[in-house]
C-alpha cells in the first residue's frame, strides 16, 4: 500500500493532468457534438473551433489550479500565463484542425462507423479521438515546460 501511495505522490502531477485532460476532452467532444447539431454536420470545422475555445478555457483553469498549482495571481503574470497557454494551445489546435481536415475530407474517415459497447461513433468523432491523443501529449509538454514551469524561489518573490 505504501508503494502505491509513493507512486501516486511521485506522479501526482501527471495523474492530475491525465484526469483533467480527460475531462477537458469530454468538454471538447460534448461541445463539438452540440455545435455539430446546432450548426449542422457540414460545419464541423466551425464546431471544432468553438469546442476548442470552450475546452481551452476549462483546461487553463483546471491546469492552473489543480495540476501545476500555479500561485501566480498578479494581473501581469496571469496575463503572461494566459497568453502563453493560449499560444501553445493554438499551435496544437492548428495540428488538430489540419489533422481533422486530412482524416475527414482527404482520407474520408467520415464514411466509417465504429460500434463501441453499443455506442456508434462516426468518422469525425473517431478522427477527433485519434487527434486528441496527439494533442494531449503536446499540450502536457507545452504546459509543463513553458506555461507553468516552476521558477526559482528568488524570481517568484
Q: What is the pTM of this model?
A: 0.75
Task: Give the pLDDT score at 152.
Answer: 61
Is residue 157's pLDDT more than 50?
no
Is residue 70's pLDDT more than 80?
yes
> Beta partners for 114?
121
pLDDT, mean of residues 102-125:
88
DSSP 43-76: GHHHHHHHHHHHHHHHHHHHIIIIIS-----SHH
Q: CA–CA separation, 102 vs 108, rounded Å?
A: 8
DSSP code at position 148 = S
For the chain, where are the E strands, in sequence order?
A: 113-116, 119-122
Amino acid at each position: 500500500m505504501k508503494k502505491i501511495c509513493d507512486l501516486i505522490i511521485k506522479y501526482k502531477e501527471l495523474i492530475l493532468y491525465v484526469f483533467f485532460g480527460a475531462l477537458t476532452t469530454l468538454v471538447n467532444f460534448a461541445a463539438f457534438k452540440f455545435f455539430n447539431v446546432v450548426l449542422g454536420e457540414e460545419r464541423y470545422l466551425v464546431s471544432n473551433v468553438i469546442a476548442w475555445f470552450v475546452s481551452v478555457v476549462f483546461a487553463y483553469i483546471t491546469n492552473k489550479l489543480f495540476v501545476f498549482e500555479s500561485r501566480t495571481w498578479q494581473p501581469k503574470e496571469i496575463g503572461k500565463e494566459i497568453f502563453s497557454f493560449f499560444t501553445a494551445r493554438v499551435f496544437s489546435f492548428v495540428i488538430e484542425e489540419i489533422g481533422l481536415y486530412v482524416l475527414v475530407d482527404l482520407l474520408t474517415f467520415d464514411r466509417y462507423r465504429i460500434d463501441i459497447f453499443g455506442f456508434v461513433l462516426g468518422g469525425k468523432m473517431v478522427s477527433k479521438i485519434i487527434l486528441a491523443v496527439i494533442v494531449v501529449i503536446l499540450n502536457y509538454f507545452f504546459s509543463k515546460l513553458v506555461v507553468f514551469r516552476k521558477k526559482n524561489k528568488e524570481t517568484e518573490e
